Amino acid sequence: MQSPSCPFPVCVVLPAVSLDTIFCSFTSNLCAFFKIAQYKVVRFKGGSLKESQATLNKVFALYQTSLDMCNDLNQCYQPIICAQFFISSLQLCMLGYLFSITFAQTEGVYYASFIATIIIQAYIYCYCGENLKTESASFEWAIYDSPWHESLGAGGASTSICRSLLISMMRAHRGFRITGYFFEANMEAFSSIVRTAMSYITMLRSFS
C-alpha cells in the first residue's frame, strides 16, 4: 500500500504562512511591550529620589528587554526577509509581465491571484517592521510627556535621573529597525519593491 504524500502546494504554502504568522505575532507582542513601557513612563509617579530612580530603572529595564528581544527576532529573520524581498521583486516582475499579456485570458486570473499573494506577503514584513520601529521610537516622546519633573518634589531631579532620562531618549530616538542585511523592512521598502517591479514590467513590455 502506497503511503499518502503531501501535495506540493501544501508543502510550500504551510511553511511560508507559518513563518509569516509567527513574525506578525512576535512583532505585535513586542509592540505591546513598548506600549506598556510608554504607559508606565507617562504615568510615572515618583516619591523620594531613590524611589523615583528605582521606578524608572524598572521601566528602562522593560524597554531594554524589549529591544533585546527585537534583536533576537531580527537575527532569526534577517536571511528570511532578505530572501523574501529579493524573490518577491523577481516574482512581481515576471508575474506582472505575464499578467499584462494574458489579461483577457483565463491565465490572467491565476497570475492576478499569485501577484496579490506575493504583495500581501511582502506587505506583512514591511508593515510589521514599520510598526515596531514606530512604537520603539515613541518611547522618546513618552519620556518627554511624562510628569517626572513634577513628581520629584521641591528638591528637583537628581543628576543621575536626568542623565538616565536623557540617555533613554537618545537611545529611543532612532527606534529599532528590522533589517534584511542590506535594507530596512518598512513601508518605504515595500513601495520601492512595487515601483521597481513596475519599472521592469514596463521595460519588458517595451521589448515585446
pLDDT of residue 154: 44
Entry pTM: 0.82
Residue 93 lies in a domain: yes
> Residues 129-155: what's their mean pLDDT?
81
Return phi, psi of residue 179, to 5°. -125, 160
Residue 186 lies in a domain: yes
Residue 6 lies in a domain: no
* Structural domain harbouring 172: 68-208
Task: Render pLDDT for 71-107 as a digit per residue (tens, 0 to 9).
Answer: 999 999 999 999 888 888 888 888 888 888 877 777 7
Task: Render pLDDT for 162-188 as a digit per residue (tens, 0 to 9).
Answer: 788 888 888 888 889 999 888 899 999
Residue 122 lies in a domain: yes
| Residue 15 burial by Cβ neighbours in a 10 Å radius (0-12, 13-18, 19+) | exposed
Q: Does residue 112 register a pLDDT over 50?
A: yes
The cell for 165 is 532620562
pLDDT of residue 131: 95
> Residues 177-206: what's their mean pLDDT?
87
The number of folded domains in the chain is 1
Residue 18 lies in a domain: no
